[in-house]
């Protein structure tokens, strides 16, 4: 407890500079709830497996042959090299721990507020509980838990092989969210924040895709047919909105400390930074709504905010299904 008390003392002195958001039990021990994997090489080969279709990357290029933008089912990730594409098929998924990477450090007091991977694990654990209550109540859909693998370097999934450059993604074939936390360090390249709530938003967004999978709507997304009004954009905006719902209930249920205005702005800033229009500009190209797959900066921020303010799946009904309780 001494370490926690020291952090709390420093926080009183320096305000919100220190990223302390999780309370009580959620501030430690959550690493036991997720899998880990540490790859050492590219491995695999032979093209995409059938299960990878939901994760098939979409390539956009900026003007003048600018940087490649790799779009995965989760967040848009700005990469300087095209080596994050999913290759190799099969039904392989990760065991509890592969390689030398573990989350033993997440057993330390306050670890969920100190280490990025522990924070992601705590967010995932919280999302399991919150959506276990919300989904049956608001959508009349039975809840089934997801899994999460936090990896380093590369990972083999039920949807194929991925590297750290892929960014966060959800694989419906093995109902698992995958994350290499080095992604958070690169958000600044897009003008995003690496603050605690911004990181939690990324994890909660991927869990939102699991909820869509349980709803039976995830397969409606078609990245081969992009556009401002496409199903792909609707699916991604709904996942942003679901991330906002998580933030609301996590704060109200005492999992998180009260969310500050600064933290909320960091999350909204991050949502804006991974908008299609922002990424197109930063890649050196023109803004082309016909190529959008995730929505504009304004749309993504508004989607998260809508879920956060309402806590209602009905406010996230981007597919206009009209099946949610008000």
Q: Which domain holds residue 99?
A: 25-105+114-316
Q: What is the pLDDT of residue 99?
A: 62
Query: pLDDT tier at 40 (50, 70, 90 boundaries)?
Result: low
Residue indicated by tokens 């299609």: 276
Q: Model confidence over 96-146: pLDDT tens digits?
A: 445 688 999 999 888 999 999 999 999 999 999 999 999 999 999 999 999
Average pLDDT on 306-321 reads 98
Q: Which residue has the higher pLDDT, 261 or 167?
A: 261
Residue 130 phi/psi, 5° resolution? -65, -45
Query: Is the CA virtual torsion 118, 120, 126, 129 positive or negative?
Result: negative
CB atoms within 10 A of CB 174: 18
Residue 160 counted as domain residue: yes
Enter the pTM of the model. 0.81
Q: Is residue 254 part of a domain?
A: yes
Rounded Cα gap, residues 16 and 66, in angstroms: 37
| Number of domains composing the chain | 1
CB atoms within 10 A of CB 80: 10
Residue 155: inside a domain: yes
Question: Is residue 66 in a domain?
Answer: yes
Is the separation of the CB atoms in 98 and 37 below 8 Å? Answer: yes
Detail the DSSP E strand segments found in 101-250: 147-152, 154-157, 160-163, 169-171, 176-179
What is the share, in percent, of the chain residues with pLDDT greater than 90?
A: 53
Assess if residue 302 is contained within a domain.
yes
Q: Which two tokens stand for residue 80?
A: 């300087």
Q: Does the residue 308 lie in any domain? A: yes
The helix/strand/coil state of 317 is: coil
Q: What is the pLDDT of residue 3?
A: 45
pLDDT of residue 292: 95
- 56 pLDDT more than 50: no
Count of CB atoms situated within 10 Å of the CB of 217: 18
pLDDT at 65: 30
Share of the chain above pLDDT 70, in %: 75
Pairing of the two strands 58-61 and 154-157: unpaired
pLDDT at 19: 55
Q: What is the pLDDT of residue 98?
A: 52
């Amino acid at each position: 407890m001494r370490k926690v008390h020291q952090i709390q003392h420093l926080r009183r002195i320096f305000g919100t500079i220190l990223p302390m958001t999780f309370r009580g039990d959620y501030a430690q021990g959550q690493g036991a709830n997720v899998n880990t994997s540490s790859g050492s090489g590219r491995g695999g080969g032979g093209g995409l497996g059938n299960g990878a279709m939901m994760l098939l990357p979409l390539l956009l290029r900026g003007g003048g042959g600018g940087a490649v933008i790799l779009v995965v089912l989760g967040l848009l990730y700005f990469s300087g090299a095209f080596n994050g594409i999913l290759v190799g098929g099969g039904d392989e998924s990760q065991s509890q721990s592969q390689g030398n990477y573990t989350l033993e450090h997440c057993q330390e007091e306050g670890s969920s507020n100190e280490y990025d991977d522990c924070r992601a694990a705590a967010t995932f654990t919280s999302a399991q509980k919150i959506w276990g209550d919300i989904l049956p109540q608001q959508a009349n859909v039975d809840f089934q838990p997801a899994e999460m693998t936090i990896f380093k370097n590369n990972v083999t999934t039920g949807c194929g092989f991925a590297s750290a450059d892929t960014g966060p993604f959800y694989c419906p074939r093995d109902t698992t969210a995958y994350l290499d936390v080095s992604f958070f360090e690169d958000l600044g390249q897009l003008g995003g924040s690496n603050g605690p709530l911004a990181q939690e938003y990324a994890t909660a967004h991927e869990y939102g895709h699991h909820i869509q999978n349980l709803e039976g709507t995830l397969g409606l997304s078609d990245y081969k047919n992009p556009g401002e009004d496409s199903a792909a954009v609707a699916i991604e905006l709904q996942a942003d909105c679901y991330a906002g719902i998580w933030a609301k209930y996590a704060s109200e249920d005492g999992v998180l400390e009260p969310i500050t205005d600064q933290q909320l702005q960091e999350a909204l800033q991050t949502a804006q930074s991974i908008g299609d229009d922002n990424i197109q500009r930063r890649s050196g190209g023109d803004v082309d709504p016909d190529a959008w797959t995730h929505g504009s900066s304004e749309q993504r921020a508004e989607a998260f905010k809508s879920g956060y303010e309402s806590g209602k799946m009905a406010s996230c009904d981007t597919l206009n299904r009209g099946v949610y309780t008000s």
